[in-house]
Amino acid sequence: MKATLTQTAHDLVAGAVCSIGDFQGGTVHCLRGRLWVTAEGHAQDVWLTPGMTLTLPDPGKVVIQADADSTLTLIAAPQRQPVAAVLGQLRQLWHRPAAGVIGPRCDMRC
């Protein structure tokens, strides 16, 4: 199954399997039914019931099986900026002159 990471609901009938070979990280949210989730690199499988979520930050293969007729959403992980870009933004803020003076003015005769 080709699954897109959106907040669109996906229905799985009891016994159906959804295999995502290139999961790039995100959250599995169970809206209805009961789901069994196993993810590459994770030691334990997880059962999700309505209202439960499982966040998988690492890329890899994910297999989801419906134990009963179920509905789920796959929510993409927030996009991360490369460290160099974040450091560049912080440098710009660091060297920016202050917009105003906080507190009483001091003429160095205090």
The domain that contains 30 carries what CATH number?
2.60.120.10
- Confidence band (pLDDT; 50, 70, 90) for 105? low
**Domain count within the chain:** 1
Per residue in 33-91, pLDDT (tens digit) is: 999 999 988 889 999 999 999 988 888 899 999 999 999 998 877 666 566 666 666 66
Strand extents, DSSP E, 6-88: 6-12, 17-23, 26-32, 35-39, 46-48, 53-56, 60-66, 70-76
Residue 17 has which token pair? 């399997």
Taking the complete model, does pTM exceed 0.95, yes or no? Answer: no
State phi, psi for 32 to the nearest 5 degrees. Answer: -155, 145
| Nearest CA among 8, 82, 69 for reference residue 35 | 69
Per-residue pLDDT, 29: 93
Q: Does some domain include residue 52? A: yes
Q: Does some domain include residue 42? A: yes
Nearest-angstrom CA–CA distance, 110 and 100: 21
* pLDDT at residue 102 greater than cutoff 90: no
Q: What is the extent of the structural domain holding 29?
A: 6-76
